Amino acid sequence: MSETYKAIEVRKPGEFAEVRRPLRDPGHDQVRIRVEACGVCHSDAGTVEGSLPGVTYPRVPGHEVVGRIEAVGSGVRGWQVGQRVGVGFLAGSCGYCEFCRGGDLVNCRNQENTGVHHDGGYAEVLLAKASGLMSIPDDLSSIDAAPLLCAGLTTFGALRNAPARAGDLVAIFGIGGLGHLAVQYARHMGFEVAAIARGADKAELAKNLGAHHFIDSAVTDAGSALQKLGGAKVILITASGGKTIAETFNGLRPEGVSIVLGVGPEPIETSSADLIFGNRRLQGALTGDPATGDATLRFSVLSGASAMIETVPLEQAAAAYAKMMSGKARFRMVLTMT
């Protein structure tokens, strides 16, 4: 086995470089993974552009990582060499802070983020904390599984934890990297699904993904359109921007909730009347814990929900990132190591 491995690192904001890194043994609570695929996610911009706190350089981005364990730390239990695993944005909980002790592993006070606070999956090898691992089903290829570890987990978890029940109207705003998965999950969960996007050209795609209704927000007031359908129990906002949220908020039925997944600098504006009259809610959702990740992967296999993927060799990571950031990816870019 080679004593080095290939990685694509960011040397400073905006500057990619291909390097060889020395192979290291995993720490006490870590495993070493031979990476097979890594998704390129919009959140990688936090590392590549230097917009997230705590990033130091050089740093290898990437947090939709799938590969096989090739070495196990001395303190690791329950994971075996040769097992195929996934690593998402949350790098592993500590197990002892107040949130971990209360069962809230997502908000662990000592959690690091993969590809931000330590090196991620734009590389042939990754060291990962065992408490953050997810198990990849045999029925999923590594390429197909990779986007499900962030885009899939985030949308599935938000919908599964939402107050909607089978038969309720659920709206998905945005049919992109997250939204095209959210529409599929919502349909297979038994909801009446309304897809909202700008442009009539999205209508056929929305229906093919499983939407019962399509609302073109470029020509139609989306909130009014949802009310004509009876009002949405849940609106899942997969696009970023405060105006996006305001445009649809009054489309909620009483006791409805608008769940925001897209992060952006634009403030969110909505009237207190829309909140108070009808007891409507606005909340955010941040990815999910490893157990929810396991459920996302299993549900994807059972339902057939899958990401639309374009594969790119690891060496072309910078180009893949640029295509994703330009909005030209349809819909997820995945780096392959062979």
pLDDT at position 241:
77
CB 226 within 8 A of CB 251: yes
Structural domain count, the chain: 2
Nearest alpha carbon to residue 174 among 190, 161, 158: 158
pTM over 0.85: yes
One domain for residues 137 and 168: no
pLDDT, average across residues 236-252: 89
One domain for residues 217 and 127: no
Considering only the C-alpha atoms of the chain, give the largest distance between any 2 of them, rounded to a whole number of Å: 65
Last residue of a domain, one of 248, 263, 284: 284
Distance of CA 250 to the CA centre of its chain: 26
One domain for residues 215 and 323: no
One domain for residues 176 and 69: no
Residue 107: band (very low, low, confident or very high) from pLDDT cuts 50, 70, 90: very high
Residue 265: band (very low, low, confident or very high) from pLDDT cuts 50, 70, 90: confident
One domain for residues 27 and 118: yes
pLDDT at position 338:
82
CB 124 within 8 A of CB 35: yes
One domain for residues 119 and 210: no
The alpha carbons of the chain give a radius of gyration, in whole angstroms, of 20
One domain for residues 327 and 277: no
CB 218 within 8 A of CB 199: yes
The two three-digit tokens of residue 112, written as one number: 């690091």
pLDDT at position 68:
98
| Distance of alpha carbon 268 from alpha carbon 254, whole angstroms | 20
Phi then psi for residue 187, to 5 deg, are -65, -45
pLDDT, average across residues 203-220: 97
One domain for residues 95 and 178: no
Last residue of a domain, one of 244, 261, 284: 284
Residue 245: band (very low, low, confident or very high) from pLDDT cuts 50, 70, 90: confident
pLDDT, average across residues 221-232: 97
For the stretch 14-49, pLDDT in tens is 999 999 999 999 999 999 999 999 999 999 999 999
CATH number at residue 215: 3.40.50.720
Q: Is pLDDT of 247 > 90? A: no
One domain for residues 268 and 164: yes
Range of the domain at 54: 4-149+288-336
Q: Is pLDDT of 226 > 90? A: yes
Residue 234: band (very low, low, confident or very high) from pLDDT cuts 50, 70, 90: very high
Mean per-residue pLDDT of the chain: 96
Q: Is pLDDT of 1 > 80? A: no
One domain for residues 182 and 300: no
pLDDT at position 179:
97
One domain for residues 247 and 324: no
One domain for residues 170 and 251: yes
CATH number at residue 88: 3.90.180.10
Residue 186: band (very low, low, confident or very high) from pLDDT cuts 50, 70, 90: very high
| Distance of alpha carbon 17 from alpha carbon 315, whole angstroms | 9
- The burial class, CB within 10 Å (0-12 / 13-18 / 19+), for 62 is buried
The two three-digit tokens of residue 295, written as one number: 């459920």
Q: Residue 315 — left, alpha, or beta (φ > 0 → left; ψ -120 to 50 → alpha)?
A: alpha
State what percent of residues in the chain have pLDDT above 70.
100
Last residue of a domain, one of 263, 284, 305: 284
